[in-house]
Chain A
Amino acid sequence: MNVQQRLTQMKQDALAALAQVNDAQALQDLRVKYLGKKGELTEILRGMGGLSAEERPVVGQLVNEVRAAVEEAIGAKQEEFEQAELTAKLASQSVDVTLPGRPLKSGTMHPLSRIIEEMEDIFIGLGYEVAEGPEVELDQYNFEMLNLPKDHPARDMQDSFYITEEILLRTHTSPVQARTMLAKEGKTPVKIICPGKVYRRDDDDATHSHQFTQIEGLVVGKGIKMSDLKGTLLTFAKQMFGPEQQIRLRPSFFPFTEPSTEVDIQCILCHGNGCRVCKQTGWIEILGGGMVHPRVLEMAGYNPQEVSGFAFGVGVERIAMLKYGVEDIRNFYTNDVRFLRQFNRT
């Protein structure tokens, strides 16, 4: 056999052998046998010295062809083996995807904080600042500067926790109005909401709590009108309770506003059709407010002939009870984790 024939024969043998291979070691042996440093192809190349100048390029090309063919076949086999190995490995690595994930904790915001933050965000969006004040308050700010002098009959409405004759736990967040206005020294506009804890001498039961939470709102400026209060509260109600929400104002009385109003929203349980919660009226009271009383403006250093304002106060527990359907106000203060953990969604 001449060199060309040997090469051709070798190619045939190699490809035939490779076709039969089915493990990685045998493949490696064949690679060594044909392509290795001491392999058959190397051997043929070494014998190339004996060829004529005409034969050499021809044989050289043939050698390259054979090498390429064998290498390709080996490569294909190798890939086949690797694929099989990977498939086997993946099969062995499969997990039960129905097992639970490793437990990572996530906590919950207290429902009262949720309502406060939500309300703060609504009013911040309307251009309000958030103001706060002391929970232990002077009688002067809690009552007198809100047009409730010492012998005012309306003081009966909010029996209070006194610490001394002049110092008490604030009965509403309204003193923050007076404090903020005094601090602003007659400058307008004033646009604040004031969230905070308040205290009244009520025995705790399902609907009463000696401590509860209020959010006060106050706007003072030139040309502030009662219709602005109505628009502001409607905006708030729609954001808090949904875009379809309606409000209803009823005349009322607070010593620090005139005219005063109580504000109802459409019952969120029956959507105004009448049910047990709204006592068949279709409406539920959620807050009180009104135009800031001229004496309150005056005492805080504003001229009621030049500026006017509106104020409102919302009970946070009331909103939370309505919005989340909480049936007992004491749940907010006993902090049972089974209660708290329910408030884990947006």
Chain B
Amino acid sequence: MRVSYNWLKEYVDLTDITPQELAERMTRSGIEVDAIESRNTGVSNVVVGYVKEREQHPDADRLSVCKVDVGNGEDLQIVCGAKNVAAGQKVPIAMIGAVLPGDFKIKKSKLRGVESQGMICSAKELGLNDKLLAKDQQEGIMVLPEDAEIGMDAVSYLGMDDYVLELGLTPNRADAMSMIGVAYEVAAILGREVIFPEMNVVENGEANPVRVTIEAKDHCYQYAGRHFTNVKIGSSPQWLKNRLMAANVRPINNVVDVTNYVMLELGLPLHAFDASQVVDKEIIVRLAQEGEKITTLDDQERTLDDQTLLITDKTKGVAIAGIMGGANSEVTDETTEIILEAAYFTQQTVRRSARKTGIRSEAGTRWEKGVDQARVKLACDRAALLIQQLSGATVSVGVADDTVQVKQPLAIDITLEKINEHLGTSIDAATVTAIYTRLQFQVEEKGAGAWTITVPTRRGDITLVEDLIEEVARLYGYDNIPITLPFGETTPGRLQPEQLLRRIVRHHLIGLGLNETVSYALLHPERMENFDSMIDANLKRISLIMPLSEEHSVLRTNLIASLVETATYNKNRQNHDLGFFELGNVFLTEEDQLTKLPEQRLYLGGLIAGQWVPQNWTGAKQPADFFLTKGVVESVLDRIGLKATELTYQPTQTRKGMHPGRTADVLVGGNVVGFIGQIHPQQEKAYDLDETYVFQFDLSKLFSHAKDFNDYKPLPKFPAITRDFALVVDRSLPVAALEEIIRRESGDLLESVTLFDVYTGERIDAAKKSVAFSMVYRHPEHTLQDEEVQAVTTRVVEALKEAGAELRS
């Protein structure tokens, strides 16, 4: 809503209140002023002039030399390049010394040898928005109406000595979508009166011949029609145009302008029909038939459904209620007889029609937010008065009115105690009464500190006692509410166990040197499915009905796709050495069309590429590889209490987008909880990446295996004995199998086993590898004897030999 400060002054006394102060006070009491705009964008010393004579420039075909009266007794000679300049016009004259927008200073000059003592201005040169100008003022110099007084300051004549307050209205404050509504608010803030505009129209014609019937009684509560004859369509006076333009409404003609003006003034959208096109002057308000067609004012043929409210005569639709008039009954320059509609359509009905037709307008917006039925009669009369004044029309006697129901004001009981309890204040009863009185709510005292408040229908947002409390709070001032903290039962603040584990994982990975990322959950379907590692083939893609772009159109089922894109983004910016992790939800469903919420699972994903150890003087290097990645994973799993012995790494060839020889599923207790591996070289190429390693875990699965710290053991009292084995085995034999044998055969005496060497090369058979383990044996209750260890290691060696291992000396 755009509010002209000068216009507002007609409805409430703004003495001593600058536009800036007004904006501040409105904002602090609930209606936010987004911007204060000066209507004058830098014009000074421009006056209304009268073109007495116009002659052709002697040396230039396109220039005119004009003699202009600017009301100071001396005629000015001005050279003008506009085609439309003519003797007898009133026009804006930028005098010598004038300034136009863009800091354009007017000086005495010669044009093709002829002196020019100023400039005749176009509307655009004055900084007026030409999209809002009436058609006759858009081209060439701006021709002003007859009534413009010669010598008068054009800034004031064109309403440019004004400010517009741009209100950022919240959806509840539909009441402030009119000048009078804003006046009520401002009057309440300032404690001043609301001044109503003149409404008394003198009915000087015949009896009103219009008949109105509402058939769709659920959609239209009231329809009032006024009738006018002897209408003379013409241009509106400048003051009216100025006000419309301040509100960003384009002037059309006097009748249409009045309907718009009264809509802005009183908040009720109006419509004018050419009465000669309404058969028998009979208005019927009904729902359209399915498929019924109407051509609207914008010359679009529209096909309606049976829920669209239509204004009709006996034979045809003449307007889509609340949305737009029909072309068939449009007010034109030839129109002499009109029917003026003032009605109350329901919010939902117009909202639905607006959505269906896609027509957005000032009127539609008001209907959708809700208008006040009490304004129907006021608006009808106010518009009649203005039409009479501006077009010389004769107003027929009476209003054709069909009223189905009338919205009644709401009475709400409230107590002082309730107000103060809710706000934490100690406001007194007199203050409360004063606030409601200033709002012009009806206050009925029901004993000490108890009232019945009757809320006018214009404030449809107030339906509950809490709404009334807010009115007190905002006018009393939020600044005056005290500062306290909740009192009562104390509660222990805490993280849930899973939230704590998530933090531990996050902090641990950061400690290891990875950077945390956050990426979008909406992805491109193909790029997401490149790494769709969904184990269950039944899982389905979840797509938005109406995405903004394909780029962000499906919900992620994995974190790898985002991590890989992040890697590409970085590599394209010369960031080659990368270590990322992300904690984020993925969304899984087996349904083609969701009937219930998808499963939301918290995943951990990670990515490592380039050099892990940055280039440095020691020469130490650590390029990203499978085992570095696995080391990171083992470290974080260890941190949440998952021992290496509980984990199984199983090679897999089926993970989508992954290297078939360098990828492993990670299992706990026989269940897959995640995987680690290298991105498939083809995908690395597609994403323009070098060797890139990733991991991904389902944290809800992992966390169910996490352990609290509760396995403390006293320090050992007896020494340990260490034994090393070097074994030669087939290259293809997994080391985990050997370790498994060592553990199994060693029994309880084994404290730890560590793989400390793996060798392949010249010194042994090409099909073999050498691996070396170091075992630590210890007995909890006595010092181990060599013989005891010997017995164990003999068993171990036997079992290893059976598995094909050969013991090296």
Residues of B within 8 A of A112 (CB): 518
17 contacts between A and B (CB under 8 A): A106-B510, A128-B491, A153-B370, A167-B594, A197-B521, A219-B486, A226-B422, A227-B483, A228-B485, A228-B487, A231-B484, A235-B485, A250-B28, A253-B171, A259-B423, A259-B466, A340-B515
B514 nearest in chain A by CB position: A107
B487 nearest in chain A by CB position: A223
* B470 in contact with A340 (CB, 8 Å): no
> B548 near A: Cβ within 8 Å?
yes
Q: Which of B27, B499, B521, B546 contacts A250 (CB 8 A)?
A: B27
Residues of A within 8 A of B597 (CB): 134, 136-138, 167
The stretch of A26-34, A65-73, A76-84, A155-163 in contact with B is A155-163
* B614 in contact with A109 (CB, 8 Å): no
Q: Which of A106, A163, A251 contacts B543 (CB 8 A)?
A: A163
* B513 in contact with A106 (CB, 8 Å): yes
Residues of B within 8 A of A248 (CB): 478-479
Residues of B within 8 A of A260 (CB): 470
* B518 in contact with A221 (CB, 8 Å): no
Q: Which residues of B contact A (CB under 8 A)?
A: 27-30, 32, 170-173, 347-348, 351, 368-370, 421-425, 464, 466-467, 469-470, 473-474, 478-479, 481-496, 499, 503, 506-507, 509-522, 542-548, 552, 555, 566, 569-570, 573, 575, 578-581, 585, 587, 593-595, 597-598, 600, 612-614, 616-618, 620
Interface string of A173-188 (1 = CB under 8 A from B): 0000000000000001
> A102 near B: Cβ within 8 Å?
yes
A105–B612 alpha-carbon span in the complex (Å): 8
* A258 in contact with B519 (CB, 8 Å): no
Residues of A within 8 A of B351 (CB): 151, 153
* A335 in contact with B570 (CB, 8 Å): yes
Interface hub of B348, B467, B470, B617 (most chain A Cβ within 10 A): B470
Residues of A within 8 A of B543 (CB): 163
Residues of B within 8 A of A56 (CB): none
A293 nearest in chain B by CB position: B466
Interface hub of A112, A201, A210, A308 (most chain B Cβ within 10 A): A210
* A210 in contact with B548 (CB, 8 Å): yes
A222–B653 alpha-carbon span in the complex (Å): 60
A308–B552 alpha-carbon span in the complex (Å): 40
Q: Which of A117, A127, A341 contacts B491 (CB 8 A)?
A: A127
Known: A223-B421, A250-B478, A258-B464. A113 touches B506 (CB 8 A): yes
Known: A164-B593, A219-B486. A189 touches B173 (CB 8 A): no
Min CB distance B703 to A, Å, is: 14
Q: Which of A105, A109, A211 contacts B521 (CB 8 A)?
A: A211
* B421 in contact with A225 (CB, 8 Å): yes
Residues of A within 8 A of B518 (CB): 110, 112-113, 332-333, 335
* B474 in contact with A259 (CB, 8 Å): yes
> A191 near B: Cβ within 8 Å?
yes
> A143 near B: Cβ within 8 Å?
no
Q: Apart from A210-B548, A230-B478, A336-B570, what 11 extra A-B contacts exist at CB < 8 Å? A: A109-B516, A117-B503, A136-B600, A163-B542, A222-B488, A231-B485, A253-B170, A253-B172, A259-B423, A334-B569, A337-B570
Min CB distance A301 to B, Å, is: 18
A294–B97 alpha-carbon span in the complex (Å): 64
> A47 near B: Cβ within 8 Å?
no
Min CB distance A268 to B, Å, is: 20
Min CB distance B781 to A, Å, is: 41
Residues of B within 8 A of A128 (CB): 491, 493
Residues of B within 8 A of A135 (CB): 521, 585, 587, 600
Interface string of A124-154 (1 = CB under 8 A from B): 1111111010111110000000000001111
Residues of A within 8 A of B617 (CB): 99-100
Closest 8 CB pairs of A and B: A105-B513, A227-B424, A225-B424, A253-B170, A251-B30, A259-B470, A124-B493, A249-B478
> A338 near B: Cβ within 8 Å?
yes
A260–B170 alpha-carbon span in the complex (Å): 11
A190–B29 alpha-carbon span in the complex (Å): 30
A206–B474 alpha-carbon span in the complex (Å): 33
Q: Which of B484, B507, B515, B614 contacts A230 (CB 8 A)?
A: B484
B420 nearest in chain A by CB position: A225
Residues of A within 8 A of B579 (CB): 105, 107
Known: A226-B473, A227-B483. A109 touches B422 (CB 8 A): no
